[in-house]
Structures are given as C-alpha cells and as structure tokens.
C-alpha cells in the first residue's frame, strides 16, 4: 500500500476506499472488454462501399471498404467524423478526438486498421486536416455512398453522428462486429453519452483532478 508525505489519516482512509473502487473498475473494464471480444460476428456487409481519399500526389483515389484492410490485420475501426457538407466547420469535439488519435496512429496500425470518414468532399476534409497537422490520419470521404446512413453515422435528416464501428474481414467477406451503441443509449444524468471515452484521453485526464470534467466545457477549434 502506497503512502505519501504529510497525508492525514482521513485522507489515507478515503484514498484506500477509492483504490478499492479503482481496482473493481479495472476488473469490470476487462470483463466488458472480454464480452466485447467474445461477441459473435455481426451482420454481413452487403455493399463494398466506395470512399474517396487523396493520394500522395493530391489526386482523388477511390477506395473500397474491403481495401481498407491490410494483410495480416483482421479488424478495421471506422470512425464517423462529424464534418458534413452543410456544416460550417468541423465538429470541435470530433476535432479534439482526432487530434489525440493522430498522435497514436503509428502505434494503432501495428495491430489493427483505422479509417476516419466524413460526409464532406475529400478536398474540404483534407484542407481542414492540414490546419491540424493530421497528415498521418487515414481520412476518407463518404459523400458518394450510403455508409453513414447505413451504419448510424447519419440520421434521417442528414445530421451527423460520431459513431464508431468495428468490422472484421473473413476471407473475402466483411462483417460488422461492434458499434458504439452507447451514443444512443439512456444517459446517466449528464448530456454526454461517453461512448468513445475509453479511446479519448482528454476526459480521462480531467477525471484525475478535483475539478473533474466541469460543467459546460467542451473543446474548441481555437484557443
């Protein structure tokens, strides 16, 4: 059991109780992760969606969903980035999330595939990406297909949703495996679904402080 200089008995008692809760949470997180890993594969993806990206020369290139899987990597996470053609600018929360993912991309790619898709034209996506130094992120436009609508990244009115989906490739077939369905689940009293918190470091930093996440604070595009 750790102890630190000049702490009171009251502090140590409370901290020990918190430690018990933290270790229970650690076990629960792993329990949930195993339940997720043990899911049977979901529905077959009937359409090999065609996305657009820019190649190294800046030319538009068409890429199918099945082509986003590198050899030896079965899983692909597709994140719906809220940057639709009718939106005046990029979603600040998605932007902050992708800022953090950008720094981890080389590590992520060692074990899995990743794609970031948005509804805007690819030239608009990449123009904004350059302002954030997202050169390493695998960014795609879904403007020419129904992927967003089919996999819950867009509502019936064209509103964009920050959905994350995992797909697995089995031979020539691609199947859905997991989606961040907590985005649409009942909230726990606040206004945020926290559906991708486990892969978003920002909020976990704040949770370690007395101030916590605060009330009403959200990331901005500029400070």
Divide the 223 residues of the chain into consecutive groups of 10 and give the mean pLDDT of each group. 96 98 98 98 97 97 98 97 97 98 97 99 98 98 98 96 98 97 85 91 97 93 97
pTM of the model: 0.95
- Tell me, what's the pLDDT at 1? 83
- Tell me, what's the pLDDT at 163? 97
Tens of pLDDT, residue by residue over 93-137, are: 999 999 999 999 999 999 999 999 999 999 999 999 999 999 999
| Look-up of token digits 């109780």 | 17
- For each of the domains in the chain, give its residue range(s) and CATH number, in order of start: 1-38 (no CATH), 50-181 (3.40.30.10)
CB-based contact 165:171 (threshold 8 Å) = no
| Look-up of token digits 């933290």 | 22
């Amino acid at each position: 059991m750790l102890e630190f200089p000049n702490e009171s008995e009251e502090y140590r008692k409370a901290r020990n109780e918190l430690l018990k809760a933290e270790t229970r949470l650690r076990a629960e997180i792993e329990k949930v992760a195993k339940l997720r890993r043990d899911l049977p594969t979901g529905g077959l993806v009937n359409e090999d969606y065609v996305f657009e990206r820019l190649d190294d020369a800046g030319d538009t290139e068409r890429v199918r969903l099945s082509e986003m899987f590198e050899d030896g990597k079965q899983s692909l996470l597709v994140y719906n980035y809220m940057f639709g053609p009718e939106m005046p600018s990029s979603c600040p929360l998605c932007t902050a999330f992708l800022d953090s993912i950008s720094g981890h991309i080389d590590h992520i790619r060692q074990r899995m595939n990743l794609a970031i898709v948005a509804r805007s034209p690819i030239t608009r996506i990449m123009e904004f990406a350059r302002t954030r130094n997202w050169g390493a992120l695998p960014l795609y436009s879904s403007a020419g297909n129904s992927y967003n609508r089919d996999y819950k990244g867009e509502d019936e009115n064209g509103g964009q949703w920050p959905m994350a989906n995992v797909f697995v490739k089995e031979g020539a077939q691609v199947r859905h495996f997991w989606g961040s369905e907590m985005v649409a689940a009942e909230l726990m009293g606040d206004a945020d679904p926290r559906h991708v918190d486990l892969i978003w470091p920002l909020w976990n930093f704040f949770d370690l402080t007395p101030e916590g996440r605060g009330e009403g604070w959200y990331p901005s595009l500029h400070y």
